[in-house]
Structure 1
């Protein structure tokens, strides 16, 4: 079985980090498994972890009254899930549910926040890397919304030509 540090080293988020940083980060991690249908995170619950999905699919969902769960995004092998551990009040903003058996590295956000407080250089480096993920996800959501709403707009004289 490969160690957490080795698993992280293979992921794009952690590539090019000094070995000492990988050792610190890996010290906050553990392997975990979730079965199909099991919730990994629940909206408004404490967000004390983030996940590197090694295998499987995870639905990021929100609950809509009178409609039930709405899937906002499906994450796959290699995706990072969760950045709420970075920002107070450290609470999940969505549900995350395993769609099939999921193997992941779970990293303890409290542990990492403490290490980042002690080493601001590491904290800044992780913040930059997570900001890239947040930006990519927001861009994907924007494109998804444009696609949904563009098909609902009435055609104008300019779009009929």
Structure 2
């Protein structure tokens, strides 16, 4: 299993400083819905402290947790890809402090500095690949548990 990529520490210092110039500090109380699947994805966050769960609505009464994120993790990647809508929902599992980045401003910065843009997209791709690998492992584990119970 690969190690989780932390966006801010993965960027070289000059690029990190340029990105951080766009950051705004925000906080979310415990149990706050940060975004809902299908909503407009126009920002992302890097969690400073606390925990966030990503979830998927299964039916009108039930959500399942698909990932848990903590300090240093990036929350939200849908701002990079059309149709710019959240694929999952997110909720503060505990009080959360984070850096918030407006997608339009970050995309302008990436256009101005293509090296930063490429580095940022590569790091986001690594983060997504890691999360996909983690999800795959969880699904295989659930499948194995289900199969054992069915025997």
Q: TM-score, normalised by structure 2?
A: 0.87
What is the alpha-carbon distance in structure 2 between the residues aligned to residue 18 and residue 51 of structure 1?
A: 19
Residue 95 (structure 2) pairs with residue 101 (structure 1): yes
Matches within 5 A, 1:69-88: 69-88=63-82
What is the alpha-carbon distance in structure 2 between the residues aligned to residue 54 and residue 154 of structure 1?
A: 40
Matches within 5 A, 1:5-154: 12-15=6-9, 17-19=12-14, 21-65=15-59, 67-153=61-147
RMSD: 2.0
Unaligned runs of 5+ in 1: 1-10, 156-161
| Structure 1 runs, 4 residues or longer, greater than 4 Å off | none
Q: What do the CA deviations read for 1:6-54 (whole angstroms, capped 9, x no partner)?
A: xxxxx942335142x2332122210000001111111111111111111
What is the number of residues matched between the two proteins? 145
What is the alpha-carbon distance in structure 2 between the residues aligned to residue 88 and residue 32 of structure 1?
A: 26
Unaligned runs of 5+ in 2: none
Q: Quick check: 2:7–2:73 contact (8 Å CA) kept in 1?
A: no
Query: Computing the radius of gyration over CA atoms, which structure comes out larger, 1 or 2?
Result: 1
Whose relative contact order is higher, 1 or 2, with alpha carbons under 8 Å and at least 6 apart? 2
What is the alpha-carbon distance in structure 2 between the residues aligned to residue 126 and residue 75 of structure 1?
A: 19
Q: Secondary structure at the match of 1:71?
A: strand
What is the alpha-carbon distance in structure 1 between the residues aligned to residue 6 and residue 148 of structure 2?
A: 42
